[in-house]
Chain A
């Protein structure tokens, strides 16, 4: 197939299941019937993907001997009785 604009040969690519023809000369793209709608649909699906969760606030600095992952090791998910005792004693 030749480009209707510059007459250079066109190559076929598959993008997410949609066949598109792109000109090797002017880089113009030729879409068959229904392909524009298919691409629009794919774009809408992409936009609906929830954005990645915001990065958690960086943990404050911790010493080299601290618990793994800079001190947020996670004994505190549930308040451990033993830890509560430790909070209240020397």
Chain B
């Protein structure tokens, strides 16, 4: 099924969900996304998403069920079950107002952090599949290996990848304690519902699942570590998460012993995507892409052992961290 034939099907489906009548309407239809892994069409107040080819129907149904059960955190779907349309699994959602891409400075960091904390504190249902964050990182690295192995930036990115623990590379099962995780947090995953001024909700359940909740904190952490996100915005996000009782990082003290392996993995994922895209387009890396590659380069030069969280630049990490099994590396006393 090509996009040319899928889009009319999705539009018809969105129209049907929006109006419930066969009559013509004057509403406009917008294609919100049309990528190999997802096609999303909006018609009036309804959004229809065709999920990636090969999506596991049972896993998607379980993830969709979580969204229906947590309407205070996740945008609830309009239809309780995925449908099959043109050979693709399709879900139907209410439209929500996204974060304004032209005003990322107005990003709702506190709301995002509070929603994540609530998600992570939700009792984990027994049958939920694993969170797919590591699988996505591994896919980005596989694409880099396949499409741009000779790019000069591929080497530091792959070297940084090799420093990561197996679970962060989707090579081993995810460690505990597990929580309900979103799996792919970024600013495109937040909408206000009901539009335009309703409360913020998380969208996109494709990667939702059981896993270490720190995965959801680690993308903003990676942006901050790479020098891209201002310290104030990172601090706001972290403080709001802690204030809401989020379990992914210690309640106070240095969060980096907990964040480090995943922030590395997500930095590698960003860098791998950036290098593959730049190579495909035949252009040089821009300043931001170079910043994430540079961070990978520094990771690869660190002698820290890969299998456990590494230390940070704070002189005296909180001793309570050791209770979570994160031991910061300190220089040996002579």
Contacts and interface: CB of A to CB of B under 8 A. Distances in A.
Looking at chain A's contact residues, the main secondary structure is loop
Best-buried of A66, A70, A83 by chain B (most CB within 10 Å): A66
Interface stretch (B58-66, B113-121, B231-239): B231-239
Interface stretch (B13-21, B146-154, B296-304): B296-304
Contacts of B228: 75-76, 80, 83, 86
Contacts of A59: 231
Interface string A37-62: 00000000000000000000001111
Interface stretch (B42-50, B77-85, B240-248, B306-314): B306-314
Contacts, number: 116
A67 B186 contact: no
Given A60-B231, A87-B186, A80 B287 contact: yes
Interface residues of B, number: 50
Contacts of A5: none
B136 interface: yes
Nearest to A83: B288
Contact of B187 (A64, A68, A87): A87
B216 interface: no
A59 B231 CA distance: 6
Given A63-B256, A66-B295, A86-B223, 15 more contacts: A60-B231, A61-B255, A61-B312, A63-B260, A63-B312, A64-B302, A67-B226, A67-B291, A74-B227, A75-B227, A75-B287, A86-B292, A87-B186, A87-B187, A88-B187
29 contacts: A61-B254, A61-B313, A63-B225, A64-B302, A64-B310, A65-B295, A65-B298, A65-B302, A67-B225, A67-B226, A67-B294, A67-B295, A71-B226, A71-B234, A73-B227, A75-B228, A76-B230, A79-B105, A80-B288, A82-B288, A86-B228, A86-B292, A87-B186, A87-B188, A88-B99, A88-B101, A88-B188, A89-B186, A90-B184
Interface of A: 59-68, 70-76, 79-80, 82-84, 86-90
The 9 closest A-B pairs by CB, nearest first: A73-B227, A67-B227, A66-B225, A82-B288, A88-B188, A65-B298, A61-B314, A65-B299, A83-B288
